[in-house]
Structure 1
């Protein structure tokens, strides 16, 4: 049903509706909880990944620039954990059929459900492999949510799980795990010590209080290991045999677009 051109204000008088009059596309009987307007067929609609609530793209972008919670249910929501929805309401515009260009730095969700396809756990092309875990298995740069933290994590394909350090323990992550994928980028590892990190380090996580954390690598028991650089704690944490161990000398991941790297 089409929205009326006017609506009743809180005092009983009529006020102009904020929906643009030049938008003749049909409306849906679904409200954006931020602007309180019905979605229309031409709107760009985004959903949060964890709780699944939907909003106008611009509304959600503005909200997440100042908050890390879902506007509707207040569960933890990071601006990197949203995606576009395509509703079967009308024919897609021609531009929807064009191939979306690859971004230089991407965090790709990995499907670790038990019922997934046999190769669903394999790292995508461009994933960053570095070091091994305590059993000598190859590890990849990843991140995952644990409680209110976004943890820089270590993905081990052979175990179909990622591992992150949190509160003195190694946490096994199988939900909301993302693998770092680089397209036309170069990466390097820059030395750090006791919480230091380069100004151009790639931010790969944050703590529950909003402090940014980084992916690092360092030697532990003679093995090159990935871990979480936590600046205020002045160490790099490593998940190791179910526990959280640390080193104070490490290297921090830095990613540079290839066109800049060649300058």
Structure 2
């Protein structure tokens, strides 16, 4: 006779296979391997960073109760005129260039606490 598959089983297997193929494709992405630009867009290309995480001067946010002393990515101390980005989910502060480079490398979590950089509600707008 043979094995019979229900329609739901085939759909579940297809979804799992699709997720696996997407994972392998993103892992073997040419831009990640060689650092070159290729056609196609990623989720970070669609996120307007200046709208979502506006850059401000460190002196503007230093009025907080406990301002950080240094950027946790480059370990340099903040100066009053440094451009910084304050993450919305966890309120950690980094140099603008440091966190932009972090996000360009498809790292979408805070370097310090690993909370998502992009709030969940933002993906509903894409």
Query: Structure 2 length normalisation: TM-score?
Result: 0.42
Structure with higher Rg: it is 1
Comparing both structures, which one devotes a greater share of its residues to strand?
Answer: 1
Q: Which has the higher contact order (CA 8 A, sep 6+)?
A: 2
Comparing both structures, which one devotes a greater share of its residues to helix?
Answer: 2
